[in-house]
Amino acid sequence: MLFHAVFGKRKVLARKPKPWRINLLLELAYQGWITIKPKILAKFEATCKDVKYRMLINLFDNVIPATLDVYAVLFRSGSFNEYVEMVFRIWTFALRWNHKNYNKAPLVFLSDIFYWQEKEHPMLEVVKMFLVNFNDYFVENFHSKIRANTSSGDSVDTIIKQACVLDTNKESPFKEMFHTKKRYPYKPSNLEYLANKTSLFLLDYFHQVFCYIKTVGNITDKSYGL
């Protein structure tokens, strides 16, 4: 709904969107929410316990900011305490949604941190000081390249040789000449316009939720004599 409301009904969202597209939608949703948040909270009563309303508030106030900030802001800035807190929150999300494939890694990280803290292990101070350096992106990225350039039937020696070739060519000037350089398709002015369209969509959506709550409340409040 959000994608078509912002980009047009004729636009097609892939089943598996590229990471930059997902990040764009999350950022637009968050920026749109920040703009209208005071008006929405003022419109709905603080004691409103409607499930749909509370799920939306949790989505925009907790889930989306955690997704956007955990790596791009907190990890890259080396904010250790805030990063640990955010990892714990993300672990609770995976636990709540029963995502077994995603709740193990955060739990292992937290277990190590709490163990080092309890034992006063020097490794804790190393992680605090050099958090940015504990990045497995390069390993995962290189592993993806190896998988893309090898097959399941290749021998160990073949995979090792292919890995060496990939490592040698990663900074090849000759290869760079034939690479197509991509630019981000949206300028700051375009992003501001899209964020405003997102705000309008969210306003309309919350209006529908508000009307639904009032309708259900009126039905519930009616009393019938016997």
Query: 11-57 pLDDT, tens per residue?
Result: 888 888 888 899 999 999 999 999 999 999 999 887 788 899 999 99
99 lies in the same domain as 164: no
Contact between 11 and 4 under an 8 Å Cβ cutoff? The reply is: yes
117 lies in the same domain as 99: yes
List pLDDT tens digits, range 45-89.
877 888 999 999 999 999 999 999 988 888 888 899 999 999 999
Contact between 213 and 50 under an 8 Å Cβ cutoff? The reply is: yes
Domain span at residue 195 reads: 2-135+187-214
List alpha helices for 46-155, DSSP H. Answer: 51-58, 64-69, 76-77, 80-96, 104-119, 122-129, 137-148
**pLDDT of residue 224 exceeding 50:** no
131 lies in the same domain as 142: no
- When the pLDDT of each residue in the chain is averaged and rounded to a whole number, the result is 86
* Cα dihedral 209→213→218→224 (10° resolution): 130
Statement: the pTM of the whole predicted model exceeds 0.85: no
Cα separation, 129 vs 121, whole angstroms: 14
Q: Which range, of 3-17, 53-67, 191-205, averages the lowest pLDDT?
A: 3-17
Residue 6 lies inside a defined structural domain of this protein? yes
Cα separation, 14 vs 164, whole angstroms: 34
78 lies in the same domain as 169: no
Which tokens hold the place of 211? 């009307």
Which of the two residues, 54 and 218, has the higher pLDDT score? Answer: 54
